[in-house]
């Protein structure tokens, strides 16, 4: 009887040390889909109940192939390429340039900078870090689609 108890204890310990399965993770967490839009640069969309893309978050992964990449900056050129690719001009519409679009176009909160542009059908935010000895470094690009069926906050076109 004691041998059986020890065997059950050992089996339960060994079975608990295996890696988690995809099915086990899916039971605990929501599945998220990301697209690698450039090597090491991933776009993760948020989708409405109707299947329309509400928001696209774009950023470099910090850790890949067992290497920590501390340079997660998105160059100005890459940011513009990705905006044109993910939200082409014909889809995002004309840039809004009125007084409402001008105010709040850039915020600096401590070392965080948020640059904004608003278009007829989308808005774009670029999050970065301010540098004492130079320009801000772009870290995250977020594209919000207006009229996508997502709930939005009062201050911006952000889905909840």
Any bridge partners for residue 129, and if so which? 112, 137
Question: Which pLDDT does position 22 carry in this prediction?
Answer: 85
Residues 6+ apart with CB under 8 A from 150: 46, 48, 52, 54, 55, 159, 160
Question: Which pLDDT does position 6 carry in this prediction?
Answer: 56
What is the distance between the alpha carbons of residues 138 and 20, in angstroms, rounded to a whole number? Answer: 35
Give the rounded percent of residues in the chain with a pLDDT score beyond 90.
39
Model confidence pLDDT, tens digit, residues 88-134: 999 999 998 876 555 557 777 777 888 899 999 999 999 998 877 76
Model confidence pLDDT, tens digit, residues 42-80: 999 999 888 889 999 999 987 767 766 667 889 999 999
What is the distance between the alpha carbons of residues 56 and 142, in angstroms, rounded to a whole number? Answer: 6
What is the distance between the alpha carbons of residues 119 and 106, in angstroms, rounded to a whole number? Answer: 15
105-117 burial: b if 16+ Cβ within 10 Å, else e: eeeeeeeebbbbb
Question: Which pLDDT does position 157 carry in this prediction?
Answer: 37
Under CATH, to which class is 30-145 assigned?
Answer: alpha beta
In this model, does residue 85 exceed pLDDT 80? yes
Rounded to 5°, the CA angle 51-57-63 comes to: 125
Note the residue count of the chain. 160
Can you tell me the mean pLDDT for 7-36?
Answer: 76
């Amino acid at each position: 009887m004691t041998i059986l108890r020890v065997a059950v204890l050992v089996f339960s310990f060994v079975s608990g040390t295996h890696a988690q399965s995809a099915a086990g993770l899916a039971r605990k967490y929501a599945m998220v889909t990301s697209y690698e839009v450039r090597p090491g640069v991933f776009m993760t969309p948020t989708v409405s109940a109707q299947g329309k893309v509400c928001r696209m978050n774009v950023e470099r992964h910090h850790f890949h192939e067992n290497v920590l990449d501390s340079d997660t900056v998105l160059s100005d050129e890459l940011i513009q390429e990705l905006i044109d690719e993910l939200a082409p001009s014909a889809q995002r519409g004309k840039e809004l340039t009125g007084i409402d679009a001008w105010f709040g176009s850039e915020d600096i909160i401590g070392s965080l900078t948020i640059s904004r542009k608003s278009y007829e059908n989308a808005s774009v935010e670029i999050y970065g870090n301010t540098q004492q000895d130079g320009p801000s470094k772009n870290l995250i690009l977020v594209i919000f689609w207006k009229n996508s069926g997502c709930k939005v906050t009062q201050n911006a076109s952000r889905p909840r």
